[in-house]
Amino acid sequence: MDRLSLLVWVPVITMIVISFFKDPKKVRLIAAAGMAVQLVQIILLMLAFFAERQAGNDAEMLFFKDIAWYSNLNIHYTVGIDGISLSLILLTGIVIFTGVFASWEITDRAQEFFITLILLATGVFGFFISLDLFTMFLFYELAVIPMYLLIGIWGSGPKEYSAMKLTLMLMGASALLLVGLLGIYFNSAPDGGPLTFNYIEISKIHLPEAVQYFFFPLTFVGFGVLAALYPFHTWSPDGHASAPTAVSMLHAGVLMKLGGYGALRIAVMLMPQAAHEMAWIFIILATIGAVYGALGAIAQKDLKYINAYSSVSHLGLILFATLIFNQVAFEGAVLQMISHGLITALFFALIGMIYSRTHTRNIYEMGGIMKVMPVLGTAYMVAGFASLGLPGFSAFVAEMTIFVGSFQNSALFVRVATILVISSIVITAVYILRAAAIMLYGPLRKQEFELLPDARWYDKVAVFILIGAIAGMGMFPNWLAEMIYTDFTPMFNRFIAN
């Protein structure tokens, strides 16, 4: 078996093993062990990847493997990774591993919960390793659909409504996406010859422009909905608010990145002309998303809503960066995906932990939490600082890369949009500090909070791993940035050439 398929198989085996156990305690241990193996495996994969690159293997995709599984339509199981997908795989590995710890206290149908959760992660891993649009779409759906169950069964609040809304909107987007992908497929051989789903192959050819104009918006919006493209973002606040902790983490941390990744890799890279021509529409939408999401977050009371709107804002930044069309901005988009994934996962983990203690997410009902839960409070502040782009944390690196990248585009329109987008980081500071001030600081608002416990060991595992990753990326960004930048080169050259 090849290395990359292992990324799919380890979760699958974990799920199978879990299905033999009913006891929540055993189940979560197995899940944690499985995901630990997965994480270790990813780190080994990374080392192997670096070794290959060091050895001068400059193929675009490493660990390439190609198996035809439905030859009539030329559908292949094609896998391979470059620095971009590898870094997102690492992100997924970290988030799912910490997600298991964040759901340590789940006892209600724990077996089914962890199976569904890991199924979701499997879909994500599969998505990132796939080079074949069809397989990719398959894994994409595999990742999106368990969300319905996870929110609908283990959620809180108006969970059925939220689950339904989320699923319907994402499915609607999938429908657009499927049309887009099939459109690409059926035009993948304009000069005759066999059609192909392999996007590396497709990116080497020039899709007819009429085709691009038609399918680019479909594909971009299809992926964009998952990345909370304004105005298709409203599933996100409700969905996140109702979802259980680990699901919010995984969803905001990783799943929304599928949208960004797809928008960048498929929509923009395969259809450059249309992307160029239509960029202005989506730049406007992404800019609105970035500013509007941040402003919307100011007015929220519920921690999860704050964070959901913040995600809209940060994802707006990602989508914005994918439409600037230079290598630095593209690199920034990927960095922001990773950074936002980690930070938002940390946020949701902390919110879940705080909620499980105070049983409220309304910031006005809390106050002075820092005194009773110094570890969680401090971690929340760290997450907040990371999110508002403090140097030393990952978001700074990502945002600066995006800003520097987009400033290289000197069109006045892009300039203005960039400045608006940059201004969103000030608003970010406002809502982060506002929430922290109300919730963490000041005198203790409710006496019964006096006795609440601080973080337990499994909470600490989740929190510290995430903080470590965020700070690590923030302090030593260059290896990651270089890897992504370098691996963008072949893609970018084709993009320019097209």
Q: Is 231 in the site for other proteins (CB under 8 A)?
A: yes
Q: Is 391 in the site for other proteins (CB under 8 A)?
A: yes
Q: Closer CB to other proteins, residue 209 or residue 482?
A: 482
Q: Closer CB to other proteins, residue 54 or residue 410?
A: 410
Q: Is 392 in the site for other proteins (CB under 8 A)?
A: yes
Q: Is 168 in the site for other proteins (CB under 8 A)?
A: yes
Q: Is 158 in the site for other proteins (CB under 8 A)?
A: no
Alpha-carbon gap, residue 338 to 341, rounded angstroms? 5
Q: Closer CB to other proteins, residue 190 or residue 374?
A: 374
Alpha-carbon gap, residue 326 to 448, rounded angstroms? 54
> Residue 37 CB: number of other CB atoms within 10 A?
16
Q: Is 362 in the site for other proteins (CB under 8 A)?
A: no
Q: Which residue has the tokens 């080169």?
A: 489
Q: Is 84 in the site for other proteins (CB under 8 A)?
A: no
- Residue 58 CB, nearest approach to other proteins (Å): 18
- The contact mask relative to other proteins for 247-276 (x = CB under 8 A, - = no) is ------------------------------
- Residue 400 CB, nearest approach to other proteins (Å): 7
Alpha-carbon gap, residue 473 to 254, rounded angstroms? 17
Q: Is 390 in the site for other proteins (CB under 8 A)?
A: yes
Q: Is 478 in the site for other proteins (CB under 8 A)?
A: yes
Q: Closer CB to other proteins, residue 1 or residue 457?
A: 457
Stretch that binds other proteins, among 13-21, 117-125, 141-149, 293-301 (CB under 8 A): 293-301
**Segment 413-472, which members bind other proteins (CB under 8 A)?**
419, 422-423, 425-426, 429-430, 433-434, 437, 440-444
Using DSSP, state whether 59 is helix, strand or coil.
coil
Quick check: 197 and 132 in contact, CB under 8 A?
Answer: yes
> Which residue(s) pair with 302 in the sheet?
362
Concatenated DSSP letters of 200-232: HHHHHS---HHHHHHHHHHHHHHHHHHTT-TTS
H helix runs in 196-326, sequence order: 199-204, 209-226, 235-242, 245-250, 256-262, 269-270, 272-298, 303-322
- Residue 231 CB, nearest approach to other proteins (Å): 5
- Residue 232 CB, nearest approach to other proteins (Å): 8
Contacts of 163 (CB under 8 A, 6+ apart): 147, 148, 149, 151, 152, 155, 239, 242
- Residue 103 CB, nearest approach to other proteins (Å): 27
Query: How many positions of this chain bind other proteins (CB under 8 A)?
Result: 59
Stretch that binds other proteins, among 134-142, 200-208, 358-366, 389-397 (CB under 8 A): 389-397
Amino acid residing at 416: V
Q: Is 299 in the site for other proteins (CB under 8 A)?
A: yes
What tokens does 4 get? 């990359």
Q: Closer CB to other proteins, residue 208 or residue 391?
A: 391
Sign of CA dihedral 121, 127, 130, 132: positive
Residue from 135, 311, 387, 401 that binds other proteins (CB under 8 A)?
Answer: 401
- Residue 404 CB, nearest approach to other proteins (Å): 5
**Segment 369-388, which members bind other proteins (CB under 8 A)?**
370-371, 374, 385, 388
Contacts of 90 (CB under 8 A, 6+ apart): 42, 43, 46, 338
Contacts of 446 (CB under 8 A, 6+ apart): 365, 366, 367
Q: Closer CB to other proteins, residue 183 or residue 477?
A: 477
Give Cα separations from 12 to 24, 49, 230 (angstroms): 19, 23, 35
Q: Closer CB to other proteins, residue 101 or residue 292?
A: 292
- Residue 282 CB, nearest approach to other proteins (Å): 17
Alpha-carbon gap, residue 81 to 95, rounded angstroms? 19
Q: Which residue has the tokens 């809503």?
A: 305
**Segment 310-339, which members bind other proteins (CB under 8 A)?**
328
> Which residue(s) pair with 77 in the sheet?
67
Q: Is 234 in the site for other proteins (CB under 8 A)?
A: yes
Stretch that binds other proteins, among 174-182, 230-238, 261-269, 453-461 (CB under 8 A): 230-238
- Residue 445 CB, nearest approach to other proteins (Å): 11
- Minimal CA–CA distance to 480: which of 321, 334, 324, 265? 334
Stretch that binds other proteins, among 83-91, 188-196, 209-217, 232-240 (CB under 8 A): 232-240
Using DSSP, state whether 258 is helix, strand or coil.
helix
Q: Closer CB to other proteins, residue 329 or residue 342?
A: 329
Residue from 481, 483, 484, 491 that binds other proteins (CB under 8 A)?
Answer: 481
Contacts of 431 (CB under 8 A, 6+ apart): 294, 297, 298, 300, 306, 309, 310
Q: Closer CB to other proteins, residue 410 or residue 447?
A: 410
> Which residue(s) pair with 2 in the sheet?
none
Question: CB burial class (10 A; 0-12, 13-18, 19+) of residue 364?
Answer: exposed
Catalog residues that contact other proteins under the rule CB under 8 A: 165, 168-169, 230-235, 237-238, 292, 295-296, 298-300, 309, 328, 368, 370-371, 374, 385, 388-392, 396-397, 400-401, 403-405, 407-408, 410, 419, 422-423, 425-426, 429-430, 433-434, 437, 440-444, 477-478, 481-482, 485
